Structures are given as structure tokens and as C-alpha cells.
DNA sequence: TTTGCATGAGGTGTTGACACTTTGCTTGCG
DNA sequence: CGCAAGCAAAGTGTCAACACCTCATGCAAA
């Protein structure tokens, strides 16, 4: 009954965007990050495939991508397991971040447009108000922290950096945050450091931007190391 | 006729180590890096599967891993292509290296054992002799350069760094080297810089090690930028 | 001649089934 | 009673076939 040249847009079925494997990957990534699939739990391909109503082939491709993101580990003939998060690995990731985001800040100081920097300033102002009003809401702060770092990385305009941090590492980080229930009390100090970084960007000072960002990430790491021992 | 408890080791059939997808991945990775599959060339799944004598399912899993390594790009319903290498991307990769290997050197200055540092010194001595004798053989030098950097990264003892650099980025780098036919004339200077780094490691000076490594990578990048314009 | 649509071939996305490996349990022997 | 060999069930690795999409070729109409 549908006109052959017309496209049906049914809002109740939210456009099946992308391939089936893509959607599976997104769903599983979210499930793992949110902790719905516990750390170290075994992944049974037949069961998962049945629960999601797809075939094992598609599922296996999605799992392969998850493996590339370091969210699952697979051993030949033994199957896949959700990664086990250790304090050591978290430290290692923060060392990575110190190097990568430091470089991102350095590049951003030259590559970001004035408009982007202004938008970043607006975001920070908003964060400041949130801190004033609801000091208990550490969750939003954490999300805001990631937003801030996200924009710096985007501002570097370095595609390698962007993909590496935004499509792999940040998901891992969110997973740690959710599962360790991390809600640090340095939100005020972090907010100040963010403002220092904004100043460095406004001054178009790459050296200073990198220095501040590295110090910022390093402080977070030290704070973690203390909390984890 | 074979003893049930004995394992047959037939040298003519070089031990089918790992899964079929693993071997396919290795073979394709090599083929792409060596340039046997030209940049930007389309990958026809049926044809490749037939040429390697495997099914499309296994091949697709291997391709998915190659995509994670940034060696191929895939668009839904359009298929996979070998990546196109651009000068801009190469620059971006060197910016990544500056940050990552700088951090690796910093960590290595504290984490490497004395024995590892001594072995590194021996390797450098060997490189020095090669430079004296056969100055035309830039190929071995390049391989040697990668060996050197490889050991530093291993020495950082940071698993995230090691996997990221040694299992993904260095393959991309080798691809650029092979396909751009890069044989720089800074091998003597690079050799000197390697020796400075060794000194910093021997002194157990993380700050200095990072500084020297970053300067080293930055010099390579500048040299490239000049050669590519 | 040019534009537009239909049609076919090739290729990708997805599926269900088969073969081999691992694992836990059972069974028989020391 | 303990232990090793073997057996069965579940799970992974691999394959061949089906469904849908894309692109190119050719035909028809303006």
C-alpha cells in the first residue's frame, strides 16, 4: 500500500541507524560501562545472541570491536570475558592521559578558534554555578569534567588524538568511574585548574597549556593513588 | 599410527598457531604494511576469501581487527578499503609519538632494570658500528631505530603504552616508511640523540629522559615536514 | 540527445548449521 | 579410597547460503 517512491518514517521505530553490528556494539559497550555486565563475567555467545535476538556472527563482530576498545578480553577457544579493572591499570591509564591530554592542550592552544574558546568559557561558568548550588551532585560534576576534557581534545584538531581518547579511552574511564563509584572531593580544585587552563588557551600559550593540563591530570592521579591504598 | 600421548610436530606444516582469524590478520597486516595491497584499494571480500582459501566470516573478523589498527577503513554497505596515507596524518602520528614515547622514556628511567639498560647500550654500540661501516644501508638503520624505541616502550612497564605503541602505531609507522620510501639522512644525528637518551636512563633521570625523547621525536617530525613540502 | 526509471549483477549484512575444542563428570582400575 | 582414562554436554571456530543494498547498464520518454 505504500507508495514505491516514498520513504516510510515511523517515529515509533527509532530509525535503525547503522548496521546491526554497530547497534549491538553500542548496546554492549553501554551495558559494560554501566556495569550491567559485571567485571570478569564470562560472555556466552549463544546466550547473548539469543537475548538480543541476533545471530552469533553479528555478535562476534561486535565483540571483536569491544576487544579493540579493551572492554573485553578474548582467549582462543575459551571465549570472551568482561575486563577486570585493577587499580594498577587505572594508574597506567592516567599516565597515558597525562601525556595525551597534555599534548592535546598544547595543540589546542594554537588550533582552537576564538568561538570555541568562548564556548568553553561559558561551559566553565555553568560548572561554577553548579558547584555553588548543589555541592552534593558530584555526578554532574564528573560528567562535566569529561565534557571539558572532551572539548580540549576536539580542539587539538588532531584526528589521531581525538579518536584514541574520545572513542576508546574515555569509555574505559567512564567504566572505572561508574564501577568504582568514584566521586572525588577535588571538584573545587579541579574547577580552578580548568580555569587556569582556559587562561592559557586564551593567551594562546601552548607551553603553559600543556603544563597546566599535565599538572591537572597528575593531581587527579595522585588523588586516586591515595584513595586506592 | 601416532601415539595418543605424543604430539606430532611436522616442520613442513608450520604449526597452525592461533586461530584462523589470527593468521589471516597477521598475513593481511603484513601485506598492507609491505605495500602488496596498495593504498586506497578496495577489498573485495569474496575475492580475498577465495585467494586465502577461507570463508568470508573469518575474513570479516580479521578485517574488523585491521580496522581497529587503522589499517583499513570500512563504510557500511560500501565495503572496506586500505587506508590512504596523507602527510597530515603522518604529522599527527608524530605528535602522538612525541607525547607517548616521551612519557614512556620518563617511566622507563625508573622502571627499567640495570640489565635492560646495559642491553640497550650494547644495541646502540652495534648501531654505531653499522653506521661506521655501511653508511648506505639506511634500511637496517631504520629497523634499528624502531628496535631502540621499541625497547624504551617495553621498559616503561606500562601495559597500556606498550600495547598502544607496539601493536598498533608502530605497524602504521612501518607502513609509512615502506610506502613513502623514507630513508632519512639524520641517522647520525638520531644515533647521537639515542645516546643522550641512554645517558639519561643510566642517570635514572625521568625529567631528562622525557625531554630528550621528545626533542628526538620532534626533530624527526620537523625533518619530515621539510621533506614533505 | 538527454533525462529518468527499471533491471540486473556484484557485494555486503546476516543467518543457521557443522566441526572441533574444552570442561566437568562418570566409570573402571589400581 | 584415590586417580586416571574416557565420555557427554556446552561453547567456540568455521563455513556455505540467503536477504538486502549499491552501482552500472540499458531502455524509454521528453
B84 touches chain A (CB under 8 A): no
* Bridge partners, residue B42, by sequence: B81
3-state secondary structure of A93: helix
Distance CA A70 to C1' D22 in A: 34
pLDDT at B13: 41
DSSP chain B: ---TTSPP--TTS----S-HHHHHHHHHHHHHHHTSS-TT-EE-HHHHHHHHT--HHHHHHHHHHHHHTTSEEEETTTEEEEPPP-HHHHHHHHHHHHHHHHHHHHHHHHHS-HHHHHHHHHHHHHHHHHHHH-TT-HHHHHHHHHHHHHHHHHHT--HHHHHHIIIIIHHHHHHHHHHHT---S-HHHHHHHHHHHHHHHHTT-HHHHHHHHHHHHHHHHHHHHHHT-
Separation in Å: D2 C1' and B176 CA: 62
H or E element: which one contains A222? helix A206-227
Q: With cut-offs at 50, 70 and 90, classify the pLDDT of residue B228.
A: confident
Domain B87-228 sits in which CATH superfamily? GntR ligand-binding domain-like (1.20.120.530)
CATH topology of domain A20-82: Arc Repressor Mutant, subunit A (1.10.10)
B205 CB contacts (<8 Å, ≥6 apart)? B109
CA A151/CA A179 separation, integer angstroms: 24
Is B95 in Cβ contact with A99 (below 8 Å)?
Answer: no
Task: Report the distance from CA of residue B50 to the C1' of nucleotide C18 in Å, as an integer.
Answer: 20
Q: Which residues of B touch A164 (CB under 8 A)?
A: 96, 164
Q: What is the pTM of this model?
A: 0.89
Nucleotide nearest to B4 (CA to C1'): D5
Residues B133-172: pLDDT tens digits? 765 555 566 778 889 999 999 999 999 999 999 999 999 9
Q: Which residues of A touch B61 (CB under 8 A)?
A: 60-61, 64
Q: Is B103 on the interface with A (CB under 8 A)?
A: yes
| Model pLDDT, residue A141 | 65
Query: What is the mean pLDDT of each successive set of 10 residues along chain A, which is 229 residues long?
Result: 34 61 97 96 96 97 96 96 94 98 98 98 90 64 85 98 96 91 78 96 98 97 90
**Which DSSP state fits A83?**
P
Cell numbers for A36, please give them. 550491567
Residue spans per domain, chain A: 20-82, 87-228
Residues contacting residue A45 through CB under 8 Å, at least 6 positions apart = A56, A59, A60, A63, A79, A80
* Mean per-residue pLDDT, B38-53: 96
Distance from the A120 Cα atom to the nearest Cα atom in chain B, whole angstroms = 24
Chain A, nearest residue to B93 by Cα: A160
- The contacts of residue B129 (CB under 8 Å, 6+ apart) are none
**Chain D bases near protein CB atoms (7 A cut-off):** 6, 10-17, 21-23
Q: CA A149 – C1' C22 distance (Å)?
A: 45
Weakest-pLDDT range from A57-61, A133-137, B15-19, B175-179: A133-137
Q: Is the CB of A118 under 7 A from strand D?
A: no
Q: How many CB pairs under 8 A join A and B?
A: 69
Residue B82 φ then ψ, to 5° = -65, 140
B93: number of Cβ within 10 Å: 20
Q: How far apart are CA A5 and CA A7, in angstroms?
A: 7
Rg of the Cα trace of chain A? 21
pLDDT of residue A1: 33
Report pLDDT for B141. 65
Three-state DSSP class for residue A13: coil
Nearest alpha-carbon partner for A142 in A189, A96, A98, A182 = A182
pLDDT for the residue B16: 61
Looking at residue A198, what is its pLDDT? 98
State phi, psi for A11 to the nearest 5 degrees: -65, -25
Decide whether A20-82 matches A87-228 in CATH topology: no
Tell which residue, A112, A173, A219, A164, has the closest CA to residue B172. A164
Angle at B152 between CA B150 and CA B156, to 5 degrees: 115
Chain B residues touching A22 at Cβ < 8 A:
76
Amino acid at each position: 500500500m505504500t507508495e514505491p517512491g516514498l520513504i516510510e518514517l515511523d517515529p515509533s521505530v527509532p530509525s535503525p541507524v547503522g548496521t546491526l553490528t554497530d547497534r549491538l556494539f553500542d548496546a554492549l559497550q553501554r551495558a559494560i560501562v554501566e556495569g550491567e555486565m559485571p567485571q570478569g563475567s564470562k560472555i556466552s555467545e549463544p546466550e547473548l545472541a539469543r537475548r538480543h535476538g541476533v545471530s552469533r556472527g553479528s555478535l562476534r563482530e561486535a565483540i571483536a570491536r569491544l576487544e579493540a576498545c579493551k572492554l573485553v578480553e578474548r582467549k582462543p577457544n575459551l571465549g570472551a570475558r568482561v575486563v577486570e579493572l585493577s587499580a594498577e591499570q587505572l594508574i597506567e591509564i592516567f599516565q597515558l592521559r597525562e601525556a595525551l591530554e597534555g599534548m592535546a592542550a598544547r595543540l589546542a592552544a594554537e588550533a582552537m578558534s576564538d568561538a570555541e574558546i568562548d564556548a568553553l568559557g561559558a561551559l566553565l561558568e555553568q560548572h561554577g554555578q553548579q558547584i555553588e548550588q548543589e555541592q552534593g551532585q558530584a555526578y554532574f560534576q564528573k560528567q562535566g569534567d569529561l565534557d571539558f576534557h572532551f572539548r580540549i581534545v576536539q580542539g587539538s584538531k588532531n584526528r589521531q588524538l581525538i579518536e584514541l581518547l574520545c572513542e576508546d579511552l574515555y569509555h574505559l574511564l567512564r567504566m572505572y568511574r561508574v564501577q568504582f563509584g568514584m566521586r572525588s572531593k577535588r571538584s573545587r580544585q579541579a574547577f580552578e585548574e580548568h580555569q587556569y587552563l582556559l587562561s592559557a588557551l586564551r593567551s594562546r600559550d601552548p607551553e603553559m597549556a600543556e603544563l597546566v593540563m599535565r599538572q591537572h591530570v597528575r593531581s587527579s592521579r595522585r588523588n586516586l593513588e591515595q584513595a586506592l591504598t
